[in-house]
């Protein structure tokens, strides 16, 4: 049966070695306390850094750096805890002098990285009205054997966090501004291209643009009115031409009649040589009265300036003029006037062709008829030229009407083409305006970051030089050393007794075994004392 089965066996074993147990316990306890006393002190220093939100309301200036605090803090922590940065801190504060002698630089850096703690504060986050970010805080802690150096390292790391936050936010803001600037340049080029396309389209389709529809319709109306006026002028010119042709025929007829009368009146007479023909004219006849046709012609010309050819007054004067011309032609035929004497060609040498003097009235009438015929022909020539010019104008107007009518018919197609060009232009313009607004906002946000008016880290509680180490916990360790010494001494005593494998008493026998007697302890070489029972 195992001695651990009965507490009496354990007590007896411990009691037998009580002196040795106490001695071992004291020795082990003293050794443990000595070891605890030799452990180096470890000091802990920490600082509190606030994550302060943007000072300017975002409805005035929107920040271009919208990164969660946790992500932003993790990024800066990776930068600060990099090997390069930690190596600078180790050299600056002469950290881990003994460890650097036995360990590699990477191991020393890893040891310092494990001694630095970045602890986000819980319960500090609270949404500020009008802000996207939350106001928070975190602590920077470091442990080391020198309290002054520990505090200096914590403050140095805190400064690195604050400077790194400013630098990181400024870099992000400038990166956003530069990206928007590049996009704005591309949008400006696209907008200029679209403006050039729109300008080129308007120049090429000038006169066919939808906004010119009213002008085109007005021009068509004006051309139709001009065509009507030109057609009326052509009609008047044709009527004038017909009238002048009739007048010319009448004038030529009257001239022929007067010419015949003159020829009859100026028939030559042959007389003998030496006979003197008395050619002394008689007394001059009185001047003929003015012709009525001239007065009617003057009235007709005046009426044409005021009325059209279809006007009753013009028709009446034309009829009276024709009647007067016919009457004057008949009178000239009935009363011919003798022409001036004309010498006959090829007359014999001994004969003289004598033409009696033509009456002055007949000569004047003939000259008037010739002048009338010449004037009428001149007017007819001018009228024909005017008619040709009017016909050319009509053709030109008709071509213009056809051209403008074609432009009006092409307006729906041009409207579709212009809508496509204008749509691309408006899209480019809206995109450029949007990027320009964003670029200006980004520049304001970047300037806000430079002026430290955006979200920033504020050192609320700098690290102080610790007055007491946080470890080792000597009281706890001393108690632990005493307990461990006691446990080890007890274990030693139990181990010795177990190795002897001795029977300690009747309580270790099974219940069915009967005890017949007891044998006292026999000590060899020591006389028994009376009454001792040994």
Long-range contacts of range 392-396, CB-CB < 8 Å, 24 or more positions apart? 393/230, 394/227, 394/230, 394/231, 394/234
Please work out, in degrees rounded to the nearest 5, the angle formed at the alpha carbon of residue 44 by the alpha carbons of 157 and 86. 30
62 and 30 part of one domain: no
Q: What is the pLDDT of residue 274?
A: 42
Block means of pLDDT (10 residues each) for the chain, length 534 residues? 57 75 86 85 89 72 72 84 90 89 90 89 51 66 90 92 84 84 90 89 83 86 90 88 84 80 64 42 44 72 70 78 80 58 41 46 77 85 88 91 88 86 89 88 78 76 87 84 85 72 53 61 56 44
Q: Is residue 366 part of a domain?
A: yes
Q: Are 251 and 328 in contact (CB under 8 A)?
A: no
161 and 48 part of one domain: yes
Q: Is residue 80 part of a domain?
A: yes
69 and 6 part of one domain: no
- The tally of domains found in the chain comes to 3
109 and 127 part of one domain: yes
Q: What is the pLDDT of residue 155?
A: 93
Q: Is residue 434 part of a domain?
A: no
Q: Is residue 222 part of a domain?
A: yes
Q: What is the pLDDT of residue 277?
A: 43
CA 34 vs. chain centroid, Å, equals 79
If 0-12 CB within 10 Å is exposed, 13-18 middle and 19+ buried, where does residue 431 land?
Answer: middle
Q: Are 261 and 330 in contact (CB under 8 A)?
A: no
233 and 350 part of one domain: yes
Q: What is the pLDDT of residue 53?
A: 72
154 and 300 part of one domain: no
CATH number at residue 140: 3.30.1890
pTM value surpassing 0.95: no
Q: What is the pLDDT of residue 157?
A: 92
Q: Is residue 431 part of a domain?
A: no
22 and 103 part of one domain: no
The helix/strand count (H/E) of the chain reads as 13, 7
Domain with 12, as residue range(s), is 1-39+472-509
Among 80, 69, 75, residue whose Cα is nearest residue 153: 80
Q: Is residue 172 part of a domain?
A: yes
Q: Is residue 417 part of a domain?
A: no
CATH number at residue 320: 1.10.287
Single residue among 409, 433, 454 that ends a domain in this structure: 409
405 and 447 part of one domain: no
Cα separation of 251 and 433, whole Å? 84
* Dihedral angle sign, alpha carbons of residues 231, 233, 235, 238: negative
240 and 254 part of one domain: yes
Q: Is residue 51 part of a domain?
A: yes
250 and 363 part of one domain: yes
Q: What is the pLDDT of residue 40?
A: 83
35 and 46 part of one domain: no
Among 176, 167, 178, 165, residue whose Cα is nearest residue 64: 176
How far is CA 387 from each of CA 142, 222, 243, 346, rounded to the nearest angstrom?
113, 21, 14, 49
Other C-beta atoms closer than 10 Å to the C-beta of 233 total 17
95 and 35 part of one domain: no
């Amino acid at each position: 049966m195992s001695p651990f089965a009965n507490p009496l066996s354990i007590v007896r074993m411990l009691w037998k070695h009580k002196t040795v147990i106490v001695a071992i316990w004291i020795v082990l306890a003293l050794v443990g306390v000595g070891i605890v006393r030799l452990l180096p002190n470890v000091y802990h220093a920490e600082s509190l850094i606030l994550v302060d939100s943007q000072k300017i309301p975002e409805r005035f200036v929107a920040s271009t750096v919208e990164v969660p605090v946790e992500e932003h803090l993790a990024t800066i922590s990776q930068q600060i805890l990099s090997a390069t940065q930690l190596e600078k801190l180790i050299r600056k504060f002469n950290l881990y002098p003994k460890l650097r002698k036995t360990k590699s630089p990477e191991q020393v850096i890893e040891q310092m990285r494990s001694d630095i703690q970045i602890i986000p504060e819980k319960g500090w986050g609270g949404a500020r009205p009008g802000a996207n970010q939350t106001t928070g805080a975190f602590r920077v802690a470091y442990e080391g054997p020198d309290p002054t150096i520990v505090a200096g390292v914590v403050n140095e790391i805190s400064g690195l966090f604050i400077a790194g936050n400013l630098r990181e936010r400024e870099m992000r803001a400038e990166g956003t501004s530069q990206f928007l600037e590049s996009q704005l340049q591309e949008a400006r080029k696209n907008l200029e291209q679209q403006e050039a396309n729109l300008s080129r389209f308007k120049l090429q389709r000038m006169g066919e643009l939808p906004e010119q529809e009213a002008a085109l319709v007005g021009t068509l109306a004006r051309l139709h009115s001009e065509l009507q006026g030109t057609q009326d002028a052509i009609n008047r010119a044709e009527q004038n031409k017909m009238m002048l042709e009739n007048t010319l025929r009448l004038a030529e007829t009257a001239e022929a009649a007067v010419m015949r009368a003159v020829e009859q009146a100026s028939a030559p007479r042959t007389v003998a040589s030496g006979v003197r023909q008395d050619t002394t004219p008689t007394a001059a006849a009185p001047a003929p009265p003015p012709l009525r046709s001239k007065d009617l012609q003057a009235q007709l010309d005046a009426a044409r300036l005021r009325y059209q050819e279809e006007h009753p007054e013009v028709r009446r004067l034309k009829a009276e003029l024709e009647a007067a011309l016919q009457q004057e032609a008949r009178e000239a035929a009935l009363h011919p006037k003798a022409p001036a004497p004309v010498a006959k060609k090829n007359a014999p040498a001994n004969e003289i062709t004598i033409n009696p003097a033509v009456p002055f009235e007949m000569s004047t009438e003939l000259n008037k008829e010739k002048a009338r015929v010449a004037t009428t022909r001149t007017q007819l020539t001018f009228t024909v030229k005017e008619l040709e010019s009017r016909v050319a104008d009509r053709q030109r107007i008709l071509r213009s009407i056809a051209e403008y009518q074609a432009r009006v018919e092409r307006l729906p197609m041009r409207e579709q083409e212009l809508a496509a060009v204008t749509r691309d232009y408006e899209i480019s313009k809206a995109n450029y305006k949007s990027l320009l607004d964003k670029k200006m906002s980004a520049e304001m946000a970047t300037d806000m970051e430079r002026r430290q008016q955006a979200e920033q880290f504020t050192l609320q509680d700098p690290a102080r030089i610790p007055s007491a180490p946080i470890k080792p916990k000597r009281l706890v360790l001393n108690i632990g050393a005493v307990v461990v010494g006691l446990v080890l001494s007890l274990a030693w005593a139990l181990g010795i007794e177990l190795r002897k494998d001795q029977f300690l008493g009747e309580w270790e026998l099974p219940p069915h075994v009967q005890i017949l007697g007891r044998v006292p302890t026999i000590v060899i070489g020591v006389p028994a004392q009376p009454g001792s029972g040994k």
